[in-house]
Amino acid sequence: MNPRERVLAVAVGGTLLLIFSYLTYSYIAGKFSSRQAEIDRLEADIRKFKQQDLAGKLANKKIDEFAARSLPANIEVARTEYKNWLLSEIAAAGMTKPDVSHTTTVAEGIQLADKMTFSVTCRGTLPQVIDFLYAFYEVDWLHRISRLSLRPVKDDKALNVTMTIETLSLHKAKPGPLVERPGKRLALGSRDEYHKRIAHRNVYGPPNNAPQITGVSGSKDVYLGRSAELTLKGTDPDPLDKVRYKLLDAPDSDARLDEATGRLVWVPKAEGQFEFTVQAIDDGLPNLPSRPEKIVINVTRQPPPVARLDFDHASYTVLTGVLDLNGKGEIWLHNRPAGQTVVLHEGDAFQIGSIRGQVVEIGQYDFTFRADGKLRRLATGEPLDKAAVIPEPVAAAEGEPAPQPAATQPASVAPAPPASGDRAG
């Protein structure tokens, strides 16, 4: 083989080697690429399956959480107990005229839960509606209010309330009973804060006016150990507002004030003057207090009881006669219980029953006597204890005769013995 042929053979062989090497590399590279692509696909499937598994676990966890919040799986139990709970919370809020109806919708496709819709109507004030809504959202159940309507009632502080409530009963939930779960959906910490934010704005009524205490009935003077009973009278310029009463300050913790009637009851334990501070508060929005009022009760010791006769002859002794015997007046007092007639003249002292006196003057149809330091006059036919008190005679000026007590006809004044004994007529 000459040199030219050798060069040609080497060139052809090198070319064939390069072609073979290329084909071999291409084949190997293709196999590697396909295998890598398969590996990538499988790894992507693994990641996808892992994500699906995680999503499934999260979904199962979420379903478990929903099942714990769900109404009972038994639809009859769920409907009955949830309806009872609604009626109970409506009553607890103080609302009236409740009416609750319901419909049941079975979920289509994959049946995981049954949906119930409740229609609720009732009547209540704005604070009562807030109390109900607070109780509704305080419970962590699968329920929601999809519609709420509040309509003011004419000439009343109440609102007509209409609500549409939706609930879910998961089939995975327990069959019953319905158990309350504390929720965390409320942004504010207490219902009082919701009252301040909502009710105190009074969006359904005119501005509120404060009440006032207009009077106190009952005696403010009381004996030691006796019960002091006073009644406050409060008024409010708003005709629909009601007034309650509050005891702000009292000298004794035993004092009691009925906030509805305003009746203050207290039994003092010591003598003196005791001051109470009271206030009236209305039920408007917001509640407004009156100006504080002070009440002073005077406590004194009760005087000893006056001994009274079981039977007072003075009540049944009557002036039956007024005589003029030779210019000397004479009266007859008939004591009916004793069956005696007491004969007296001017200046005579006497005691009949509870009356101890002395005859001062005898007139034509009456006589004047002094008893218990007072001048009294008794007319014919009147009982002795009914003698009228008359004014004392006015002292006469110098040189003028002293005026005599007024009488029907003055009798001549003649000296008389200090006292005359009683004699039977």
Higher-confidence position of 289 and 156: 289
pLDDT of residue 307: 61
Higher-confidence position of 292 and 186: 292
pLDDT of residue 409: 39
Kindly tell me if the per-residue pLDDT of 147 is higher than 70: yes
Q: Which CATH number fits domain 212-300: 3.40.50.10860, 3.30.300.30, 2.60.40.10, 2.30.110.10?
A: 2.60.40.10
Cis link prior to 98 (omega < 30° from 0)? no
| CATH 1.25.40.10 applies to domain 75-201 | no
Average pLDDT estimate for 94-102: 94
Residue 121: burial class (beta carbons within 10 Å; 0-12, 13-18, 19+): middle
Higher-confidence position of 9 and 152: 152
**Cβ proximity of 148 and 118 under 8 Å:** no
What is the full DSSP assignment across 53-101?
Answer: HHHHHHHHHHHHHHHHHSPPSSHHHHHHHHHHHHHHHHHHTT-EEEEEE
pLDDT of residue 181: 86
> C-alpha distances in angstroms, 189 versus 12, 106, 114, 133, 186?
94, 37, 33, 14, 7
**Cβ proximity of 166 and 78 under 8 Å:** no
**Cβ proximity of 347 and 329 under 8 Å:** no
Q: Would you give the distance in Å from CA 346 to the centre of its chain?
A: 71
Q: What percent of the chain has pLDDT over 70?
A: 89
Confidence of residue 28 (pLDDT cuts 50, 70, 90): confident
Phi and psi dihedrals of 414, rounded to 5? Answer: -135, 150
> C-alpha distances in angstroms, 339 versus 65, 162, 318, 424?
104, 87, 12, 8
Higher-confidence position of 181 and 367: 367
pLDDT digits (tens, 9 = 90+) for 54-65: 887 887 788 788
Cα angle 383, 385, 391 (rounded to 5 degrees) comes to 110
Distance (Å, rounded) from C-alpha 299 to C-alpha 397?
Answer: 47
Closest of 141, 182, 186, 185 to residue 165, by C-alpha: 141
pLDDT digits (tens, 9 = 90+) for 223-282: 998 999 999 999 999 888 899 999 999 999 999 999 999 999 999 999 999 999 999 999
Confidence of residue 1 (pLDDT cuts 50, 70, 90): low
Average pLDDT estimate for 357-372: 94
pLDDT of residue 420: 36
Average pLDDT estimate for 91-105: 91
Kindly tell me if the per-residue pLDDT of 125 is higher than 60: yes
pLDDT of residue 310: 64
Kindly tell me if the per-residue pLDDT of 407 is higher than 60: no
Distance (Å, rounded) from C-alpha 87 to C-alpha 99?
Answer: 8
Which one-letter DSSP state was computed for residue 222? E
Distance (Å, rounded) from C-alpha 126 to C-alpha 202?
Answer: 8
pLDDT of residue 380: 93
Distance (Å, rounded) from C-alpha 92 to C-alpha 306?
Answer: 58
pTM check: above 0.85: no
Which one-letter DSSP state was computed for residue 289? B
Strand partners, 231: 217, 263
Residue 31: burial class (beta carbons within 10 Å; 0-12, 13-18, 19+): exposed
Average pLDDT, the chain: 85
Kindly tell me if the per-residue pLDDT of 109 is higher than 80: no
pLDDT digits (tens, 9 = 90+) for 310-361: 678 999 999 999 998 888 899 999 999 889 999 999 999 999 988 999 999 9
In this structure, of 62-71, 85-94, 199-208, the range with the lowest mean pLDDT score is 199-208
Cα-Cα-Cα-Cα torsion 263, 266, 267, 273, nearest 10 degrees, comes to -120
pLDDT of residue 395: 56
Kindly tell me if the per-residue pLDDT of 287 is higher than 90: no
Kindly tell me if the per-residue pLDDT of 6 is higher than 50: yes
Q: Which residue has the tokens 């004014």?
A: 391
Average pLDDT estimate for 73-97: 94
In this structure, of 44-53, 132-141, 355-364, the range with the lowest mean pLDDT score is 44-53
pLDDT of residue 112: 83
Q: What percent of the chain has pLDDT over 90?
A: 51
pLDDT of residue 306: 60
Tokens coding 219: 């005696």
**Cβ proximity of 226 and 302 under 8 Å:** yes
Distance (Å, rounded) from C-alpha 213 to C-alpha 229?
Answer: 17
Q: Can you give the residue ranges of every domain in the chain?
A: 75-201, 212-300, 312-425
Confidence of residue 123 (pLDDT cuts 50, 70, 90): very high
Phi and psi dihedrals of 361, rounded to 5? Answer: -155, 145
Average pLDDT estimate for 188-213: 83
**Strands of the sheet with 96-106, listed across from one edge:** 96-106, 113-124, 159-170, 143-152
